[in-house]
Structures are given as structure tokens and as C-alpha cells.
């Protein structure tokens, strides 16, 4: 069976209810206590917890298979290379790419965006040109384009969002001009939970001859992704947000783009031949992976993808969407609570403020109850400015979260209100 994202899912139960109790049993940290209270982990947009399948895969590699890849003729090196390249194939299937050669391993979505900006972007963008982003981007999909525009004498244009946190699609289309050399858009906002109509945006941009990079750091864990169907030019995501290790992620790029792009870094393994007179570079994706890669990270990422496939992307999405609705209903009745971001198409992220109470105070009190949420600007300061707040409190959900945990969050927030308003 295959999930809607196109990746193989042995034993997956597509379309059926997710067995959350069984899922939770796979995550040892969820049995821990914090300040003497059961851990309620609601900071999944920052990073997800790791199932035993992932930690076991990483441990097994270091305990029994550790070796460098691509270089050795001995058995261990060959085995490590096979596992590393099998991980690339897993990512290819997970994203719906046409070939493993379209998948570049990077440290995460941030490095993937910087790679595109400093190679593809630098070759395309010149004085007077424009790069188009949206007002709901993470800093990682703002700053690299600012740096590129400053270096090349170009202009960064920003498509606005409305009071619900939805992209003004017509304005996005209007801002695409003959000067636009690239558009970079988030698939799902980390601060609002908004899901953008990416397929429509890509089609609109391509009709004007504008290539599109999609930041999938949040979306990859929650939505079915098929880059071939989306027809985007680039797609990035981070392993640690899809239950995998930190320090690993992937960049998808259309084969023709990757073939034409110059290397991002120089060193070993990205070359075919080196002399003091000249260097001949390796083909994609290897020319973008200089030095010893994060081998265990790639293996752990493949284990995470397999784990998601075991439960089924549809079942996970249905559970998370229902839980998001429940959270919105449960928190709506709390005195002084205002949601930041009320888009119709959304999932997994619930951002809010409490009147007269700083988000950091909310997070500190909740921590004493064992409840982990995120407070601050979430690396999305322009969004905070758009809604006139310095920061928000953010509860973000994953496949292992439950209604009982939402009930605990709501009860703790009511206690916060009483504490600060007595």
C-alpha cells in the first residue's frame, strides 16, 4: 500500500483511526516526568520527539556499521554506502521525486534554502531583479533572500496576509513581474498553522516563468507531499521535525536545475578529479555534499520515514486535524485568550495570547505543570509585527498527542488566568 504522499507504507492503515496509545508506547520520553508532573509535550513545531525505531537505527549504525561512505572498498564502507543511498531513495519516495539524484542531503531546511540562494539564486538574480516571498515566512526563508538581494542589488518583494493569517493570493499573483527571478513560499506556517495553496501558487508563478522554492519544514510531518504533482522547482524539509535526528534534512531540486547549479561548498566527495590547475566536479547530488556527510542522520531519517509510513500519512493527518479542532474549541472559552491565526486551511499549530499576560510567563507557569509549549516570536518576527504582538504562546501537535493533553493545557491556562488576575 502507498500513502497519499506516494511513499511505500508497509503495514500502514490508510483511512483508519490512528492507534495513539500504540504510537505513544514507541516514544520513551513520553513516559517521563517534568517537575514531578507527567510530560505533556506540545512543542512539536520546534522539534518532534523520536521513536525507538529511529534511536535504534542510529545506535545500530554506530555500534555495528560505522564507516565512511563512497570511498572505501572494504565491507563496512560498502554497507554504510548502501544504507546511506537507501536513505536517499526513502526521501525520494517520501517526497514523490522522480529520481534519488534529485535529493540532496543537507543539515536541514535552513541549509537547503541557503544552498539554493547561493547557487541557483546567485546565478539568476542581478541588479534590479526581484525575489518574491510571503509575509508568513520563517526567518530561514527571509534572511537568505535578503542577503542575496543585498549582494546582487535586487529587491525583496513580500506578498501580504489577511487578518486570518491567510495569504492574499491575488496580491501574490500581482507581485509576480517580469523582474521576478524566483518565488520562495512556505507550505505551512510555523507560527500560524496556515496551509498555503502551494499547487495554485506554483502554477501561477510558472505561468509567468518564475521558478518556486517551497519551504516544507512544517508541512512534511503533517501533509502529504508530492513534489512531482506540485511541480515546484525546489522543496526543503528538516529531519528533526518528522521524528528524525537533528542536523539532517533534504533539498529536492528538479534534475535540470541541480545539473546546472554550481557546487555550494568545496572538498572531498564532491569532485571527480582534482589538480592544482583545475577541478572537475561530481554530478548531482554528490557535488552538493562536500566532506563526510551525516551518515547516521540520513539512516535515522529513513527510519523516521518508515515509521510514519507504518501508521499511514492519512491516519496521522486525520488525527492531528481533529485534535487541532478540539484544541481550538477547548481554548476558545478561556477568558482573555485570543488566537493569532484563524485560517480556514490549517493544522497542528495553535498560537494565542492572553490579555495582560506575557507569553513567557505563560510558558514558565505551564512548564511547572509539565507542559512544554513554545513562547516567543518563533523565528517569525514579521508575523508578530503584522498582528501587533511581540510574541505568542504556541501549542503545536504531533501524532502522539491526545485530547487528555489538550484538556491539561486548557486547565493550566485557566489557572494562569486566575493567578495573574486575582
Residues serving a catalytic function are 379
Strands 279-281 and 180-186: unpaired
Q: How far apart are CA 174 and CA 177, in angstroms?
A: 7
Q: Which residues contact 361 (CB under 8 A, 6 or more apart)?
A: 416, 420
**Whole-angstrom Cα distance, residue 3 to residue 58?**
25
Angle (deg, nearest 10), helices 403-421 and 313-332 = 30
Cα gap 181→115, rounded to integer Å: 16
Contacts 24+ apart (CB under 8 A), 418-421: 419/365, 420/354, 420/356, 420/357, 420/361, 421/335, 421/336, 421/356
Beta bridge partners of 226: none
Amino acid at each position: 500500500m502507498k500513502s497519499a504522499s506516494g511513499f511505500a507504507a508497509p503495514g500502514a492503515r490508510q483511512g483508519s483511526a490512528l492507534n495513539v496509545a500504540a504510537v505513544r508506547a514507541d516514544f520513551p520520553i513520553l513516559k517521563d516526568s517534568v517537575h514531578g508532573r507527567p510530560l505533556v509535550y506540545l512543542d512539536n513545531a520546534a522539534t518532534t520527539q523520536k521513536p525507538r525505531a529511529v534511536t535504534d537505527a542510529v545506535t545500530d549504525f554506530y555500534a555495528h556499521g560505522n564507516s565512511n561512505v563512497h570511498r572505501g572498498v572494504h565491507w563496512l564502507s560498502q554497507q554504510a554506502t548502501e544504507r546511506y543511498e537507501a536513505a536517499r531513495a526513502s526521501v525520494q519516495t517520501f517526497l514523490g521525486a522522480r529520481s534519488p539524484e534529485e535529493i540532496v542531503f543537507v543539515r536541514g531546511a535552513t541549509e537547503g534554502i541557503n544552498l539554493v540562494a547561493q547557487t541557483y539564486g546567485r546565478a539568476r538574480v542581478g541588479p534590479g531583479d526581484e525575489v518574491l516571498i510571503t509575509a508568513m515566512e520563517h526567518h530561514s526563508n527571509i534572511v537568505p533572500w535578503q542577503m542575496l538581494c543585498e549582494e546582487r542589488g535586487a529587491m525583496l518583494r513580500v506578498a501580504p496576509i489577511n487578518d486570518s493569517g491567510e495569504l492574499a493570493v491575488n496580491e501574490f499573483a500581482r507581485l509576480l513581474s517580469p523582474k521576478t527571478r524566483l518565488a520562495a513560499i512556505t507550505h505551512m506556517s510555523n507560527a500560524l498553522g496556515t496551509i498555503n495553496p502551494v499547487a495554485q501558487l506554483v502554477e501561477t508563478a510558472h505561468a509567468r516563468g518564475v521558478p518556486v522554492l517551497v519551504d516544507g519544514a512544517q508541512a512534511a510531518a503533517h501533509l502529504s507531499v508530492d513534489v512531482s504533482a506540485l511541480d515546484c522547482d525546489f522543496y526543503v524539509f528538516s529531519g528533526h521535525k518528522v521524528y528524525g535526528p537533528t542536523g539532517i534534512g533534504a533539498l529536492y531540486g528538479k534534475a535540470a536545475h541541480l545539473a546546472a547549479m554550481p557546487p555550494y561548498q568545496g572538498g572531498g566527495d564532491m569532485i571527480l578529479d582534482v589538480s592544482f590547475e583545475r577541478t572537475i566536479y561530481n554530478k548531482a547530488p554528490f557535488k552538493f555534499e562536500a566532506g563526510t556527510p551525516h551518515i547516521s542522520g540520513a539512516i535515522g531519517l529513513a527510519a523516521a520515514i518508515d515509521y510514519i509510513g507504518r501508521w499511514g500519512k492519512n491516519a496521522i493527518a486525520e488525527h492531528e486535524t481533529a485534535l487541532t479542532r478540539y484544541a481550538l474549541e477547548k481554548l476558545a472559552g478561556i477568558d482573555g485568550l485570543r488566537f493569532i491565526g484563524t485560517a480556514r486551511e490549517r493544522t497542528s499549530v495553535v498560537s494565542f495570547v492572553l490579555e495582560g499576560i506575557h507569553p513567557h510567563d505563560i510558558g514558565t507557569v505551564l512548564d511547572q505543570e509539565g507542559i512544554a509549549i513554545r513562547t516567543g516570536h518563533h523565528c517569525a518576527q514579521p508575523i508578530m509585527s503584522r498582528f501587533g504582538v511581540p510574541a505568542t504562546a504556541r501549542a503545536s501537535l504531533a501524532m502522539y498527542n491526545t485530547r487528555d493533553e489538550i484538556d491539561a493545557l486548557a486547565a493550566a491556562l485557566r489557572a494562569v488566568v486566575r493567578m495573574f488576575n486575582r
